[in-house]
Chain A
């Protein structure tokens, strides 16, 4: 039962471009939506997170846009760099409990 759907599966972006990854969720009880970055052989690292009471959150080059009515949220990486090449996961949880993850997006930034 996939409660969080993530797209695209893979993405190639030129250096300096904008990377956009989208997620959609089903459970309206979810109230916390983080994005994680994972490099090969490493554990996921928390990048940025948002709650449904705001529509956008920005931290450095990373921005989350949140659309509560559409049950969708997205990650934008501005000025993408080769070092951003990694797998990105969206996730959702209810009241600080278990995270439900999307299937991941493999991002490659070409220099």
Chain B
């Protein structure tokens, strides 16, 4: 039984570059969430999907951010023209509509923008 996986685990990039992260949820979990966590803070919601439909986006998700879940399985989060303020841990979580309240988190992708 595998949990939520995220790749890469670490990403170092230069300001202005584009980056893409991948999240593979727990098998058969139809809800997938993206959160961002900065040092010393709790995770902040970015967006979530039910199957392939993106149901909510936070105001934190600027136009430079885009997320997809094309087949209702894995999801990608892309950040275009990265800025130093994008440096954070990007966390993915998944849940089922049978137990929608329990969200299980992956290990996160640590992004550093130089």
Task: Count contacts on B: residues with CB < 8 A to the other chain.
Answer: 27
Compute the total of residue contacts between A and B using a CB distance below 8 Å: 61
Is A91 an interface residue when CB atoms closer than 8 A count as contact? yes
When C-beta atoms are compared, the residue in chain B nearest to A95 turns out to be: B100
| Contact between A96 and B42, CB atoms less than 8 A apart | no
- Inter-chain contacts of B4 with A (CB < 8 A): 43
| Contact between A97 and B95, CB atoms less than 8 A apart | no
Is B41 an interface residue when CB atoms closer than 8 A count as contact? yes
Within the complex, the shortest CB–CB distance from A89 to chain B, in Å, comes to 5
B: residues with CB less than 8 A from A are: 4, 31, 33, 35, 40-45, 48, 56, 58, 91, 93, 95, 97, 100-108, 110
A: residues with CB less than 8 A from B are: 6, 32, 34, 36, 41-46, 49, 89, 91, 93, 95-104
26 CB-based A-B contacts, threshold 8 Å: A6-B42, A32-B101, A34-B103, A36-B105, A41-B110, A42-B107, A43-B93, A43-B106, A43-B107, A44-B91, A45-B105, A46-B105, A49-B101, A95-B100, A96-B95, A96-B100, A96-B101, A97-B56, A98-B48, A98-B56, A99-B93, A100-B45, A103-B41, A103-B42, A104-B40, A104-B42
